[in-house]
């Protein structure tokens, strides 16, 4: 029976991982398409524009590198030893963290592109991409991925602090009086749960 429960929860984690990963990447690419003026990325892809394909691939890699930790945290909250209220609470907390990561990724890509635009004032990057300039696309892709990796390292340090741990947040909510059975989080963190006050 334990094996069956483990397999079932593993399958649920896998499904959620795939859905969240695809959803995050799709939302990120869609936002990127809206933020960049002067070029319709999807139309250029349909024309077989390799340069734009490289940029879109770099954006996907950049977004994935930022949201991957959020997806893994979300699936970590799906555990058979957790109560239903705790799993729902962790899901909400982790979706907020994932959304924050996605927003940071999109902003990072946007800022990197604008920085690059100021850095190369003599070059019209959008026109170069429209003309299928692969060298320019590789250069921009390298900047995007590099900046995102650095930002991701800094963000991971912040998000992975004890105060922002999903279980710690759930415990704080439970201690604040919300109806959350956070016992599973105490076990996960190796913390002794509070002893209820004796009834007088």
Which DSSP category does 178 fall into?
Answer: -
Provide, rounded to the nearest whole percent, the portion of the chain with pLDDT above 90. Answer: 6
Tens of pLDDT, residue by residue over 92-147, are 888 888 888 778 877 887 888 788 878 777 788 888 888 999 999 999 899 888 88
Q: What is the pLDDT of residue 48?
A: 92
| Mean of all residue pLDDT scores within the chain | 82
Which tokens belong to 152? 């991701």
Tens of pLDDT, residue by residue over 181-193, are 888 888 888 887 7
Which tokens belong to 184? 């599973």
Q: What is the pLDDT of residue 54?
A: 92
């Amino acid at each position: 029976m334990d094996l069956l429960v483990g397999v079932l929860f593993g399958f649920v984690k896998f499904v959620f991982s795939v859905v969240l990963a695809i959803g995050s990447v799709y939302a990120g690419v869609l936002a990127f398409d809206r933020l960049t003026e002067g070029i319709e990325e999807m139309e250029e892809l349909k024309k077989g524009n390799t340069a734009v394909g490289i940029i879109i691939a770099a954006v996907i890699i950049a977004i994935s590198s930022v949201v991957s930790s959020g997806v893994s945290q979300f699936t970590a909250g799906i555990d058979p030893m957790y109560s239903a209220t705790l799993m729902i609470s962790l899901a909400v907390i982790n979706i907020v963290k994932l959304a924050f990561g996605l927003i940071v990724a999109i902003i990072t890509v946007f800022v990197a592109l604008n920085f690059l635009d100021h850095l190369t004032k003599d070059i019209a990057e959008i026109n170069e991409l429209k003309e299928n300039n692969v060298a320019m696309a590789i250069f921009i892709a390298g900047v995007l991925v590099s900046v995102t990796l650095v930002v991701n390292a800094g963000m991971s340090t912040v998000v992975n602090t004890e105060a922002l741990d999903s279980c710690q947040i759930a415990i704080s909510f439970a201690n604040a009086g919300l109806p959350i059975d956070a016992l599973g989080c105490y076990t996960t963190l190796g913390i002794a749960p509070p002893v209820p006050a004796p009834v007088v």
